[in-house]
Amino acid sequence: MGSVTTWYTLINSLDEFRYFLPMSGAMDYEGNDVDAVVTASGHSPDDFFIYAITGTDDFEYGNFTRQIEGILGMPSRNFILTDSEESGNIALCIKDGYSHNSLAAREYTYNGLMWFWN
C-alpha cells in the first residue's frame, strides 16, 4: 500500500519533501540505513516530520515498530519522538485492533493529513 515507498522517498528525496506518512511497513528493521541517509544529507530534525502509524493486529506491526524504535535510538538524534511538531519530528500512533487493510489505510491517511494541515 505504499509505506516502504514512503521510507524510500524519505531517504531519496529529503530535499523535496517535508512530511512523510508511512503506514505499517518497514524497509530497515533497525533504522540504521534511514538514519545514515538523514545524517549524510545534512538535514536537521527541524527539516522534516514523520507521522508513523500502524495497528496492533497488522502483520507488519513488529517490523514497523522495530524500525521506529531503531531510528529513535540512534545516537545522531535525527529523530525525536513527539506529540506535536513543535517538539520533535516523529509521531508514532498505534491503533488497537487495526490490521493491514484498506479501512485502516483510509483512516490513517485522514488522520495523517489532519495532523500535517490541522
pLDDT digits (tens, 9 = 90+) for 12-49: 999 999 999 999 998 877 788 899 999 999 999 999 99
- Closest-CA residue to 51 (of 11, 101, 14, 3): 3
Residue 32 has a pLDDT of 85
Do 110 and 70 form a contact (C-beta atoms < 8 A)? no
CATH number of the domain encompassing residue 83 = 3.40.50.1820
Determine the structural domain holding residue 112 and report its residue range: 3-117
- Is the pLDDT at 1 greater than 90? The verdict is no
Q: Which residue has the cell 531510528?
A: 71
- Chain-centroid distance of CA 3 in Å reads 9
What size, in residues, is the chain?
A: 118
Alpha-carbon distance values, 77 to 39, 49, 101 (Å):
9, 14, 32
Residue 7 has a pLDDT of 93
Q: How many folded domains does the chain comprise?
A: 1
